Amino acid sequence: MKKEIRLLGIDDAPFDKFKDKKTLIVGVFFRGGGSVDGILSETVDIDGSDASEKIIEMVNRSKFRTQLRAIMLKGIAFAGFNLIDIEKVSKKTGIPVIVVMRRLPDKERIGRILAKLRKESSIKLMEKAGQISKAGAIYIQFSGTTPEQAKEIIRISSSRGNIPEPIRVAHLIAGGVKLGQSRGKA
């Protein structure tokens, strides 16, 4: 696999769950873990169900789409509990999707919250996303690729720490745009 593989990292911006109805998601195109090639943005509903479709539209209309080899997501939920159907995103874009997590999710707690929000379909999306695997110091889920390829993409793109650069930079940009400056870890 080339070190300059074209990747897209996506993360959501911070939001006030009591005031905001929508939040920003930012995608950053990277060459491996080295340099930024472009940026995308879109808005999604907080605790909604539009994140998968918005990501599909964002990727498919991008001028970088033909060079893109993997989409990397910071978790499976954006904008609160707007869960992403990674299998659907992979199939509708024709590009593998890799979900990156710092730690294992508390599935029981998340299930209780989703039930309280009456988002039973989201519980199914969590299960549909597949097995969570360890990849170095982080955890991943993936669709449209093999475990070996997913881990190699993580290795190539994690040039400054455990979190792949496309996701880390998307996190910084999303926070900086929303709050005026970036904060916290991706």
Please report which confidence band the pLDDT of residue 107 belongs to, taking 50, 70 and 90 as the band edges.
confident
Q: Given this model, what pLDDT does residue 113 score?
A: 77
CATH of the domain at 67: 3.30.2170.10
Instruction: Please report the sign of the dihedral spanned by the C-alpha atoms of residue 109, residue 120, residue 150, residue 158.
Output: negative
- Is the model's pLDDT at 169 over the cut of 70? yes
- Is the model's pLDDT at 8 over the cut of 90? yes
Characterize 71-95 residue by residue with b for buried, 16 or more Cβ atoms within 10 angstroms of its Cβ, and e for exposed: bbbbbbbbbbbbbbbbbbbbebbeb
The two beta strands, 82-83 and 97-101, are unpaired
Q: Given this model, what pLDDT does residue 28 score?
A: 98
Mean pLDDT of the chain: 92
Tell me, yes or no, whether 98 lies in a domain: yes
Tell me, yes or no, whether 1 lies in a domain: no
- Is the model's pLDDT at 115 over the cut of 80? no
Q: Between 183 and 89, whose confidence is greater?
A: 89
Q: What is the DSSP letter of 66?
A: G
Cα dist from 59 to 46, 54, 69, 74, 102, whole Å: 20, 9, 12, 16, 24
Alpha-carbon distance of 102 to 85, in angstroms, equals 20
Tell me, yes or no, whether 184 lies in a domain: no
Please report which confidence band the pLDDT of residue 120 belongs to, taking 50, 70 and 90 as the band edges.
low
Tell me, yes or no, whether 15 lies in a domain: yes
- Neighbour count for residue 32 (Cβ, 10 Å): 21
pLDDT digits (tens, 9 = 90+) for 125-167: 777 888 899 998 999 999 999 999 999 999 999 998 999 999 9
The percent of residues above 90 in pLDDT, for the chain, comes to 74
Q: Given this model, what pLDDT does residue 67 score?
A: 94
Q: Given this model, what pLDDT does residue 41 score?
A: 97
Q: Given this model, what pLDDT does residue 58 score?
A: 97
Question: What is the span of the domain harbouring residue 166?
Answer: 6-179
Tell me, yes or no, whether 123 lies in a domain: yes
Cα dist from 1 to 6, 33, 96, 163, 186, whole Å: 11, 13, 14, 19, 25
The total domain count for the chain is 1
Alpha-carbon distance of 121 to 93, in angstroms, equals 22
Mean pLDDT of 102-110: 83
| Strands laid side by side in the 133-135 sheet | 35-45, 22-31, 6-12, 70-74, 97-101, 138-143, 133-135
How far apart, in Å, do the first and last CA atoms of the chain sit?
A: 25
pLDDT digits (tens, 9 = 90+) for 52-93: 999 999 999 999 999 999 999 999 999 998 999 999 999 999
Tell me, yes or no, whether 139 lies in a domain: yes
